[in-house]
Chains A and B, each alone.
Chain A
Amino acid sequence: QKEVEQNSGPLSVPEGAIASLNCTYSDRGSQSFFWYRQYSGKSPELIMFIYSNGDKEDGRFTAQLNKASQYVSLLIRDSQPSDSATYLCAVTLSGGSYIPTFGRGTSLIVHP
């Protein structure tokens, strides 16, 4: 069974701090990695994707991928209360499948 694991949290950080969200996956053939943000009662919104080992930065967000260790992380710098949401990690496998497997999500709370 191919799985994507996330700590459900909640992860609580003060405003202005760095929030670090982690995700591990079981299939070494995984090719593409995504982070979605989902506000309560809303639909998921793609915020980052990464395909290669290393870091990818976009504004306050940095995705980090380590295929050897099978983990992907999301760092949020200068966290804001508006970042409070559930963050879903998603992974697609090799072989041309474009169907992502999602983790259960990590709840992030940024308190003023």
Chain B
Amino acid sequence: NAGVMQNPRHLVRRRGQEARLRCSPMKGHSHVYWYRQLPEEGLKFMVYLQKENIIDESGMPKERFSAEFPKEGPSILRIQQVVRGDSAAYFCASSPPGASPNEQFFGPGTRLTVL
């Protein structure tokens, strides 16, 4: 049973480019959460999605960031016109329907570096 998968594991972008981060939840999990971890800081919640629905995006920056979880395929976190301050580790977690946080499982993360 594969765990949460994220790709790419490392992503390098120049300022102004777009970054697309993908997350495939564990089998049977329909809930996806995205977190960002800046250097020397804790995890910050960004967005919570279910299939075809954004449930809570209170942690998403108002501009340049968007997320989706289509009916088919992985969840995508998109960052447009990246800036150096976007350099961070982005983690995805998934859980089955109705789960409590102790049932969230994290993926290995995507480390974004903006040059």
19 contacts between A and B (CB under 8 A): A6-B42, A32-B102, A43-B91, A43-B107, A44-B43, A44-B91, A44-B106, A49-B101, A49-B102, A90-B101, A97-B56, A98-B48, A98-B95, A98-B100, A99-B33, A102-B35, A102-B42, A102-B45, A103-B42
A100 cross-chain contacts in B, Cβ below 8 A: 45, 101, 104
B71 cross-chain contacts in A, Cβ below 8 A: none
B45 touching A99 by the CB < 8 A rule? yes
> Interface centre among B42, B99, B100, B106, by most A CB within 10 Å?
B42
Interface of B is mostly: mixed
B33 touching A102 by the CB < 8 A rule? no
Bin the interface of chain B by size: 20 to 34
A43 cross-chain contacts in B, Cβ below 8 A: 91, 106-109
Q: Interface residues, chain A, CB within 8 Å of chain B? A: 4, 6, 8, 32, 34, 42-46, 49, 88, 90, 92, 97-105
CA distance A46 to B91 in the complex (A): 14
